[in-house]
Amino acid sequence: MNPATTEFLRQRFCEYYKKTVLVPPPSLVQREWGFVLFNAGSTDTRMRRHIGFSDRGEMECYINNLIPQHAYYSTAYYEKPDAGTMADKGWCGADLIFDLDADHIVRGPYDQMLARVKEETEKLLVMLIEELGIDRKSIALVFSGGRGYHVHVRDLAFRGWGSSERRELIDYVCGIGIDPAAMLTGKTVPSAGWQNRYRKALLDYLRWIGSQPAEEAMTYLTAIEGIGKDSAALFLEKRDEIISDIEHRPTAMILRNRVLGILVSQQEGRFRERLLATAALADEPVTTDTKRLIRMPTSLHGGSGMRVQSLELRELPGFDPLTDAVVFGTRDVKVDARFPLKMPMLGSTYELQKGINTVPEAVAVFLCCRGMAEIA
């Protein structure tokens, strides 16, 4: 990012912070704060952290004077949040956090990535509320301002959890460490949960195999390590019987079929894809980290120029980040695009050629923040 682009962005961010109402997190005085500043011409990102505020006014004054590129606060609560070392802070607990980032889920055009990560967020909220019984009133939902969503659970029951307890919960959400024998043991019950999801995914997978021409099914099975022609042929003969047993007489004994055991134990492949499609693909390290810094709602994301936006749970289905989290206007700005691109924003799609283009200010801010263009 060249100096002119850095100054353009800093001025736009300054305008935003001077007119917006910043909303601090609960228990402001127990949070550690961190900020990344605009640094023209530098590729070295350094965070100014170990900062604490005594009240909202001090926080607002600091941010308005600093004009950060990124603003973060700790998910943890501390006795001395401004202490210079983590050991001296006095950890008092932490919010339970889930981070859903499209970068970890799918690649493609930005608007398509945002649509997909919204689906994962909706799946996560259903799991937390309907399966795990978490009170929806204790859940705070935030659009990250970039490529995903943050889910904050501020129930006191979770605040004291360590990394191991949080690991068990994120493993459940992501479908990690599933035991096939446990999933196929017991009667089918009409409720949400991994047992039902697993059986449905397995039945869909077995029916897909059966829908293939015989020769293609054999080719598919024998291409998997450990499955020979005789085993594959016998499995295909017994496929309908296996499906019937899973539907009506589920038991771990079904896995005594050698080919089925190999299919469900694969860490990649078509069955695993079906299974993961029913999980909520949250970022595991974020949930297990009890001292994480996370973006401040109402701040601006320095990698997009969009607002880190708090949402009511009921608002998520209709929320469009490329309209609802855009804070800059439509006045013309000239940018020098690094390559040809299409950018959807504010209800339109802007097609840019490599070189000088005139675009709305909101698009210019986004492209410059992402390093896709410089101010002309």
From the centroid of its chain, how far is CA 112?
14
- Give the Å distances, CA to CA, from 207 to 197, 212, 266: 15, 9, 18
Q: Distances in Å between the alpha carbon of 373 and those of 6, 305, 334, 363?
A: 12, 13, 10, 10
DSSP for residue 177: T
* Distance separating alpha carbons of residues 339 and 355, to the nearest angstrom: 7
Active site residue 99: yes
- CA distance linking residue 111 with residue 345, whole number of Å: 9
Say which residues have a Cβ less than 8 Å from residue 58's Cβ, sequence separation at least 6. Answer: none
In sequence order, the 6+-apart residues with CB closer than 8 A to the CB of 57 are none
Whether 345 and 362 have beta carbons less than 8 Å apart is answered as: yes
Residue 240 appears among annotated catalytic residues: no
**Distance (Å, rounded) from C-alpha 141 to C-alpha 150?**
6
The catalytically annotated residue of 230, 245, 283, 324 is: 283
- Nearest Cα neighbor of 307 from 294, 298, 296 is 298
Q: Which one from 44, 55, 101, 336 is the annotated catalytic residue?
A: 101
Q: Mark whether 171 is an active-site residue.
A: no
Query: What value, to the nearest 5°, has the Cα angle with vertex 105 and ends 104 and 107?
Result: 95
Q: Whose CA is closest to 363, among 325, 339, 320, 328?
A: 328
Can you tell me whether residue 200 is helix, strand or coil? helix
Beta-strand relationship, 33-36 and 139-143 = unpaired
Name the helix (H) or strand (E) containing 8: helix 3-19
In this structure, what token pair is assigned to residue 247?
């539907």
Residue 29's closest CA among 75, 63, 67, 79?
79
Which tokens belong to 261?
């055991």
Write down the catalytic residue from 99, 240, 320, 332: 99
Tell me if 191 sits within 8 A of 126, measured CB to CB: no
Take residue 223 and report the two structure tokens written for it.
């291409």
Residues serving a catalytic function are 99, 101, 283
